[in-house]
């Protein structure tokens, strides 16, 4: 499994403890090193699967002994079929697209999966930074994408325009816009066809950065997304802008409510190499925009040491359900709601090494919450120390603080 660590109060930098003090902008850079690689259990071997490898050819049969290319396999796979990517690095200069006409079914999703025990990496380093240079575009619906990494794309690493798909155990890193984003397929796509019902599961997104420093988030379901999209057991860290971005604007109107649950957002606004861009918003979870009301659900999730707010309504005046979350040592507010009718229950806010500001939670907040108003509440005693996280073999996100497992 993948294991990463961050100290509340100190950072672990290749074995050296470095003190942190003041705001995020004043803190020493925090670096991470994977102690072991993540290996999960891929979907079971499927009869009639199409096999792909970095050395495959378009005309090959697509068998284990004669693998084909990814683009060829996408064109051949039947609804409900399986494509296996063998391990290794696949180098592309152009976007790889699953077209809108390629769909699985509700009973049998089409699968694009890492071969069991191997790690395929789609590398788009040959692309220049441009909105037209995405990595993998998933425009089809009812797909299951499992166990692949997408890196160095000129725009989004993975862009989901279809509906009812599962994106699981993916890693999107070093892309030049948001690592994994949901949005409409084209400017002419009606709102009734915006991506809906997708599940982002046990995914990691990190070190995504655009040259302007204000667009590249870890995950985004913004501007043009339908209802029922869910992020579960997802981890976003060290992106130049926000960990999550659910931005809306008046030109396109409200998006469908999004659920974020059992997830982690930390150290966004600062890349792993210490790079900071003042243009970035640098929030853990940014939940709105342009005073448009959308009733998102955010529960059992953690914001840790982000460069601005931990959780912020970002001018979303809706009635969001915000419950059982934990926010620690974010540079400004751990929770920031200046308007709206959101309902807050059993949330916890703690400060150990970053002074920040008092939380502000306009809405319905009762005594089950322990917000920061100058002192830590009683629950904070359980949340001091090093932040560590990993994915369990079944994909659940496991987070510990000071060696104690966090249960929210």
The whole domain housing 323 covers 1-36+229-389
User: Cβ neighbours of residue 141 under 8 Å, at least 6 residues apart?
Assistant: 103, 104, 162, 163, 164, 165
Q: Find the range with the poorest average confidence among 38-47, 232-241, 247-256, 357-366.
A: 38-47
The answer to whether 308 is a known catalytic residue is: no
Distance from the first to the final alpha carbon of the chain:
22
Residue 26, domain CATH: 2.160.20.10
CA distance 172 to 243: 13
DSSP secondary structure of 76-101? HPPTT-EEEEPSEEEE-SS-EEE-TT
- Assess if residue 93 is contained within a domain: no
> What is the predicted pLDDT for the residue at 3?
54
Domains in the chain, number: 1
- Assess if residue 336 is contained within a domain: yes
Q: What value does the mean pLDDT of the chain take? A: 91
> What is the predicted pLDDT for the residue at 4?
63
Whether 18 has a pLDDT exceeding 50, the answer reads no
- Span 387-395, mean pLDDT? 98
User: Cβ neighbours of residue 407 under 8 Å, at least 6 residues apart?
Assistant: none
Bridge partners, residue 235, by sequence: 204, 264
- Assess if residue 263 is contained within a domain: yes
pLDDT-derived band of residue 44, with 50, 70 and 90 as boundaries?
Answer: low
> What is the predicted pLDDT for the residue at 45?
65
- Assess if residue 32 is contained within a domain: yes
- Assess if residue 377 is contained within a domain: yes
Task: Give the CA dihedral 220, 224, 229, 230, nearest 10 degrees.
Answer: 20
- Assess if residue 374 is contained within a domain: yes
Pick the catalytic residue: 4, 222, 286, 308?
Answer: 286
- Assess if residue 269 is contained within a domain: yes
- Assess if residue 234 is contained within a domain: yes
- Digit-coded pLDDT (tens) for 158-194: 999 999 999 999 999 999 999 999 999 999 999 999 9
User: What DSSP designation does 377 have?
Assistant: -
Beta strands in 25-156 (DSSP E): 50-52, 82-85, 88-91, 96-98, 110-114, 120-123, 136-138, 143-146, 149-151
- Span 8-31, mean pLDDT? 27
């Amino acid at each position: 499994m993948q294991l990463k660590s961050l100290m509340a109060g100190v950072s672990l930098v290749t074995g050296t403890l470095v003190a942190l003090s003041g705001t995020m902008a004043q803190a020493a850079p925090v670096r991470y090193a994977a102690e072991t690689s993540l290996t999960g259990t891929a979907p079971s071997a499927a009869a009639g699967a199409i096999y792909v490898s970095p050395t495959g050819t378009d005309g090959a049969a697509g068998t284990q002994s004669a693998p084909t290319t990814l683009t060829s396999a996408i064109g051949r796979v039947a609804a409900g079929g399986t494509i296996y990517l063998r391990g290794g690095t696949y180098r592309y200069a152009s976007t790889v697209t699953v077209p809108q006409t390629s769909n699985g079914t509700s009973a049998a999703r089409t699968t694009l999966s890492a071969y069991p025990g191997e790690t395929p990496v789609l590398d788009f380093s040959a692309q220049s930074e441009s909105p037209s240079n995405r990595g993998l575009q998933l425009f089809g619906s009812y797909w299951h994408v499992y166990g692949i990494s997408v890196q160095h794309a000129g725009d989004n690493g993975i862009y989901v325009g279809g509906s009812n798909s599962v994106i699981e155990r993916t890693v999107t890193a070093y892309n030049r816009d948001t690592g994994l984003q949901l949005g409409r397929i084209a400017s002419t796509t009606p709102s009734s066809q915006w991506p809906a019902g997708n599940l982002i599961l046990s995914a990691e997104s990190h070190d995504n950065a655009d040259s302007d420093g204000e667009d590249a988030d870890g995950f985004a379901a913004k501007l043009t997304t339908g209802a029922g999209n869910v992020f579960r057991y997802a981890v976003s860290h060290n992106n130049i802008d926000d960990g999550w971005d659910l931005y809306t604007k008046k030109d396109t109107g409200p998006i469908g409510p999004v659920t974020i649950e059992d997830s982690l957002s930390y150290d966004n606004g600062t890349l792993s190499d210490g790079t900071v861009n003042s243009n970035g918003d640098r929030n853990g979870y940014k939940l709105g925009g342009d005073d448009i009301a959308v009733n998102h659900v955010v529960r059992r999730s953690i914001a840790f040491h982000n460069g601005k707010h931990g959780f912020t309504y970002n001018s979303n005046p809706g009635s969001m359900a915000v419950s059982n979350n934990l926010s620690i040592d974010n540079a400004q507010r751990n929770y920031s709601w200046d308007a709206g009718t959101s309902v807050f229950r059993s949330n916890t806010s703690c400060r150990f090494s970053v002074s920040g500001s008092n939380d502000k939670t306009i809405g319905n907040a009762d005594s089950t919450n322990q917000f920061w108003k100058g002192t830590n509440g009683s629950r904070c005693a359980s949340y001091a120390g090093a932040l560590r996280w990993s994915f369990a073999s079944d994909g659940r996100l496991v987070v510990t603080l000071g060696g104690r497992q966090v249960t929210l």
